Amino acid sequence: MTASIIDGKAFAATVRGKVAEHVTRLKTDHGIMPGLAVVLVGEDPASQVYVRNKGKQTVEVGMNSVEHKLDADTSEADLLALIDQLNSDPAIHGILVQLPLPGHLDSDLVINSIDPAKDVDGFHISNVGLLGTGQKSMVPCTPLGCLMMLRDHHGSLSGLNAVVVGRSNIVGKPMAQLLLGDSCTVTIAHSRTKDIEAMCRQADILVAAVGRPEMVKGDWVKPGATVIDVGINRIPHPTDSAKTKLVGDVDFASASEVAGAITPVPGGVGPMTIACLLANTVTAACRANGLAEPEGLTA
């Protein structure tokens, strides 16, 4: 292996440490206790695990964590009423509605009912527009985590060729916007892209957010490039049929022979996502109180 490993687990711990410092400062200097409300509708097992982890880490950095667990058949009106209540609660600085929502609920309507200033997932249409026009916004957590790791590794990203594989609203598109904001030359590839391998080989920064296990092979990677693997895919274990294994969208074995730096799965982008949710919550608490934003925790 030639690539250096970008350790997302360690980086996330550093981010959480910075968040905790800011939380202490907000409490002691200003009497402000940042609060994050997470709303979970239904009993999707993966969502329950995410919500539990979010709550635990929120408390660990010293913030107030509020969880609202609603039945799977909760009506849209009841969910909107809860969001309304959280929007007007001054003790709540961040609101996250865990996705996916049950089919009878309109996700866009629900997300767009969150006060944009409290939209710590960065999915509200106002935040999407602000990010797209280079204005101050709440930035989606996963791409924000990727950006932080890239800035840390490269310093300036200006002038680098970036290829983002995947054009989802939660990862691919905001990732491309953030890289553009840092003056990369950005290409977005997707399922209809022609000769995607050749396109990826142009990339100084290659971000894979596809949801296809180990799709990006070593010969797609430009020698020395930085590879950010957003993918989280569970596949059958190669040697033990009773087990499964987590892999990314990048074939780590071959890509790490060519890349200059690479994020592993697990332990790369994944841990950064919750760390950035906490960062966004402390940012929202600062903004809500007209205080300077924490340095290094925003885009």
Q: Is 232 exposed, middle or buried (0-12, 13-18, 19+ CB in 10 A)?
A: middle
Active site residue 85: no
The reply to whether 8 sits near ligand NAP by the rule CB under 6 A is: no
Q: Which is nearer to ligand NAP, 209 or 225 (CB)?
A: 209
Q: Which is nearer to ligand NAP, 192 or 243 (CB)?
A: 192
The reply to whether 35 sits near ligand NAP by the rule CB under 6 A is: no
Our CA angle for 195, 199, 203, nearest 5°, is: 160
Residues 200 to 259 in contact with ligand NAP, rule: CB under 6 A: 209-212, 230-233
Tell me the window of 37-45, 106-114, 253-261, 268-276 that interacts with ligand NAP (CB under 6 A). 268-276
| Residues facing 59 on adjacent strands | none
Q: How many residues bind ligand NAP (CB under 6 A)?
A: 25
Which tokens in the block code for residue 200?
């990826």
Distance from C-alpha of 196 to C-alpha of 208, rounded to nearest angstrom = 12
Residues 72 to 111 in contact with ligand NAP, rule: CB under 6 A: none
**Consecutive H or E run containing 228:** strand 226-229
Q: Which is nearer to ligand NAP, 175 or 258 (CB)?
A: 175
The reply to whether 162 sits near ligand NAP by the rule CB under 6 A is: no
List strands edge to edge, sheet with 35-41.
64-70, 35-41, 94-97
Report, in Å, the least distance between residue 213 CB and ligand NAP.
8
Name the catalytic one among 18, 54, 118, 173. 54
The reply to whether 168 sits near ligand NAP by the rule CB under 6 A is: yes
The reply to whether 270 sits near ligand NAP by the rule CB under 6 A is: yes
At 51, which amino acid appears?
A: V
Which tokens in the block code for residue 87?
């929007």
Which tokens in the block code for residue 73?
């058949």
Active site residue 54: yes
Binding mask 108-147 for ligand NAP (x = CB under 6 A): ----------------------------------x-----
**Closest Cα to residue 5, out of 249, 273, 265?**
265
Q: Which residues contact 130 (CB under 8 A, 6 or more apart)?
A: 136, 137
Name the catalytic one among 18, 57, 118, 121. 121
Enter the DSSP assignment of 216. Answer: B
Which tokens in the block code for residue 80?
């909107």
Residues that bind ligand NAP (CB under 6 A): 142, 165-168, 170-172, 189-193, 196, 209-212, 230-233, 269-270, 273
Catalogue the active-site residues.
54, 98, 121
